Amino acid sequence: MPEMKAIRIHSYGGPEVLKFEDVPRPVPKDDEVLIKVFAAGVNPVDWKIRQGYMEDLFHLPLILGWDVAGVIEEKGRAVTNLALGDEVYSRPSLFRDGGYAEYIAVKVSEVAPKPTTIDFIQAAAVPLAGLTAWQSIFDLAHLKAGQKILIHAAAGGVGHYAVQFAKWVGAHVIGTASAGHHEFLKAIGIHEAIDYTTTPFEEVVHDADVVLDTIGGEVWQRSWKVLKKGGILVSTLRGPEAGGAEALNKLCAHVFVQPDAAQLGEIAALIDSGQVSPKIAGTYPLREAEKAHRASESGHTRGKIVLDIRG
C-alpha cells in the first residue's frame, strides 16, 4: 500500500506528542475524493483534541487537522461534480483522520472549489473558521442589515471572518481585541474596536442584537449585559445554559461547526469578489506542526496559522 508523510498522535498530551511519520495513504470510497493536500489550517480544536478533549469519540493513532486545500488526486465512482486536478478546499468530518498529511480522503459533500483569487495557503485558512463564523451569525443568529453585533477576539481566526461577514451583510460591527490589532480590524471593516485590556466591553456596548463569543468563561457571563431583549449570544464554547438574571428574555446558542460545501461555495464567491480576505498569522512546514500548535495555543495570533504541506 502506498505511504505518505503525516503528523499523528499516538497518545494525548502536549505538543510533543505530535509525530512526523510514514502512514498508509487513504483510499477514497465511492462517494469520496482523495485530495493531495497542499496546505492545512491549524485550529484550536486541533490542540484541544490532542490534549484529550472528547477523547471518547476518537481512536488513536489519529491524524489531526480539519482544514485543507489541495487538488483532486483520485475520486470514487459516484463522484460526478468534481474532476481530477480540480483545485478544492474543505472542512472534512471531524471524526476521521484529518489533513496534517500529504493526502486525505473526504466525502464529496464536504468539498468545494477553492476560491480562484487566493493561493492554497490562504484557502486552507478559510473552511473551519469561516464556516464557524458563517453558521454562528447567519444560521443561528440570523444577523441582518442594521443590527448591532459584538464579536469577541475579533482579530482571531473565527473573529476576523465574522467581522467581514457582518460588515458585508450591513450590520454595525463592534469587536474586542488588544490595541495592537485595532488598525487591522479597521482595515477589514470594523466600526468600533474595544481594547479589552483597558475597557470593560459591557460598559461601552449596549443593546446589541448579537454577541459572538469564542472565549467563554467570564467573558461569556459578562456578555449577557450587552444584549437587548430578544438578542442572542452565540458561543463556540458554551451550551445554552442559564445566564442568571441578565439572561432573561435573551437567547443563547452553541455552534458546533458542520461541513457544508454549499456554504464554502458562498464564502469562496465573497473572497473572489473582494468582500472577504483571509489573514495568515504564520505558516510552518508539516514536520514543524509542534511549533504551529505552540503558536496557536498562545491565544494571541492575528488570523490563521497554516501548515505548508509542500514546505
Domain 3-126+278-308 falls under CATH 3.90.180.10: yes
Q: What is the pLDDT of residue 173?
A: 98
The string of pLDDT tens digits covering residues 70-81 is 999 999 999 999
The secondary structure of the chain as a DSSP string is --EEEEEEESS-SSGGGEEEEEEEPP---TTEEEEEEEEEEE-HHHHHHHHTTTGGG--SSEE----EEEEEEEE-TT--S--TT-EEEE---TTS--SSBSEEEEEGGGEEEPPTTS-HHHHHTSHHHHHHHHIIIIIIS---TT-EEEETTTTSHHHHHHHHHHHHHT-EEEEE--GGGHHHHHHTT-SEEE-TTTS-HHHH--SEEEEEESS-HHHHHHHGGGEEEEEEEEESS--S----GGGTT-EEEE------HHHHHHHHHHHHTTS----EEEEEEGGGHHHHHHHHHTS--SSEEEEETT-
CATH class of the structural domain 129-254: alpha beta
Confidence of residue 237 (pLDDT cuts 50, 70, 90): confident
Q: What is the pLDDT of residue 129?
A: 96
Q: What is the pLDDT of residue 301?
A: 76
More confident residue, 240 or 50: 50
pTM recorded for the entire structure: 0.94
Domain spans in the chain, listed from the N-terminal domain onward: 3-126+278-308, 129-254
Confidence of residue 242 (pLDDT cuts 50, 70, 90): low
Q: What is the pLDDT of residue 161?
A: 97
The string of pLDDT tens digits covering residues 124-168 is 999 999 999 999 999 999 999 999 999 999 999 999 999 999 999
> How large is the average pLDDT for residues 111-121?
98
